């Protein structure tokens, strides 16, 4: 494994109690969508204040609202992409939800779930192109499971391997996400203001 390719993402894969996002979270990236539109797709309306907020808020406020049961998402702009953070949640990597969230755009989503499985999803225009359990990249599903094979190799992951850096599967998935999006999800991004809203039935 190319250790230097993971250095910027190890903070997302550290042991229990050390990751600022906790043991269960998802981060999804949407190409060409503003944070307000991403929030709307999760079922909130920041513009009207319904189930959301009119003004950006902090990660701490998102933590307060999400508590231990989740149900809230915080969104921020990241260049040509928007990044959505779900604490104690994994909606963006559920296949049917990822299909709806990605309607008319490109979606990359990573879930860390210490008590179930980690997950990586790449979807385009309502279709899952490839997805896999981050521990086992060799077992992929989707309309074109091999679409990211070259990029996986470039970021240090063997697409034919039975395991993906077993000790750092989340970091490896975020390295792959960065290879697709050009967005390096760093810890200081969490200091930026977030648009926060409740996760409801995602809209197309």
Query: 71-111: per-residue pLDDT in tens?
Result: 999 999 999 999 999 999 999 999 999 999 999 999 999 99
As a whole-number percent, the residues of the chain with pLDDT over 90 amount to 72
Residue 157 pLDDT class (50, 70, 90 cuts): confident
| Mean pLDDT of the 43-61 span | 65
Closest to 134 in 3D by CA, of 158, 151, 117, 155: 117
Residue 54 pLDDT class (50, 70, 90 cuts): low
**What is the reported pLDDT for 162?**
73
Asked whether the predicted pLDDT for residue 36 surpasses 90, the reply is yes
Query: Residue 147 CB: number of other CB atoms within 10 A?
Result: 15
* Greatest mean pLDDT among 143-147, 156-160, 187-191: 143-147
Query: What single DSSP character describes residue 7?
Result: G
Closest to 197 in 3D by CA, of 8, 57, 22, 23: 57
Residue 156 pLDDT class (50, 70, 90 cuts): confident
Phi, psi of 58 (to 5 degrees): -105, 165
Asked whether the predicted pLDDT for residue 201 surpasses 70, the reply is no
**What is the reported pLDDT for 1?**
42
């Amino acid at each position: 494994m190319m250790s230097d390719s993971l250095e910027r993402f190890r903070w997302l894969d550290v042991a229990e109690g050390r990751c600022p996002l906790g043991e269960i979270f998802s981060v999804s990236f949407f190409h060409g969508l503003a944070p307000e539109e991403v929030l709307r797709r999760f079922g909130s309306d920041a513009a009207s204040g319904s189930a959301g907020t009119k003004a950006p808020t902090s990660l701490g406020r998102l933590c307060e609202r999400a508590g231990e049961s989740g149900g809230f998402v915080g969104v921020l702009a990241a260049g040509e992409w928007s990044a959505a953070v779900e604490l104690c949640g994994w909606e963006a990597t559920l296949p049917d939800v990822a299909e709806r969230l990605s309607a008319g755009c490109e979606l990359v989503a990573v879930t860390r779930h210490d008590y179930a499985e980690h997950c990586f999803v790449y979807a385009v225009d309502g279709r899952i192109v490839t997805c896999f359990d981050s521990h086992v990249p060799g077992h992929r599903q989707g309309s074109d499971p091999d679409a990211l094979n070259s990029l996986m190799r470039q970021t240090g992951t063997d697409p034919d391997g039975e395991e993906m850096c077993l000790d750092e599967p989340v970091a490896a998935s975020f390295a792959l996400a960065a290879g697709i999006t050009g967005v390096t999800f760093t810890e200081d991004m969490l200091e930026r203001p977030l648009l926060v809203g409740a996760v409801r039935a995602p809209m197309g």
